[in-house]
Amino acid sequence: MERAGATAAELTSSERLALAGLLGFAASLRWLMWSRAVTLFNDGPEFLLIAKWAAAGDAGAVLAHPYHPLYSLAIAGVHALGFEWESAGALVGVAGGTAAVGFLFLFLRDAFGAPSAWVGAGLLAVHSRAVEYSSDVQSDGLYLGLFLAG
């Protein structure tokens, strides 16, 4: 019987390959949804404005805005790698949403065993709201990933 409490390092090579496949699928699904979007999420322009202030070094404007700056700072960092502003924002969300799937898998595997982990991570990978919230210029994907990392 498989024991609960296994760490990420204790994954078998086939489990690692399957998890990589699930994460690749989750990321692809989120990026596909982003590529089909015709408008930004309501707060998207605000996040991009804050990111532009951050890139320009205007810390006062960034900190004076009522939105938490972490997501916008991440956008500015990805933009500095050569990505266009909106794509940088979506990429941060997609990365966070994909990471959330992986962290949920690890948590559920440690707490309840591998079968529960596969079901839970698989559901999060395809859940319509989870995909929607992590495939646009909005902070939910990043914060969900960070929450589950904790």
User: To the nearest whole number, what is the mean pLDDT of the chain?
Assistant: 93
Please state, as a whole number, how many other Cβ atoms lie within 10 Å of the Cβ of residue 63: 11
Residue 1 banded pLDDT, cuts 50, 70, 90: very low
Query: 52 exposed, middle or buried (CB, 10 Å; 0-12, 13-18, 19+)?
Result: middle
* Position 146 pLDDT exceeds 60: yes
Task: Tell me how far apart the alpha carbons of residues 102 and 123 are, in angstroms, rounded to a whole number.
Answer: 12
pLDDT tens-digit series, residues 78-99: 999 999 999 999 999 999 999 9
* Position 3 pLDDT exceeds 70: no
Q: What is the pTM of this model?
A: 0.89
Q: How is residue 127 written in tokens?
A: 């859940």
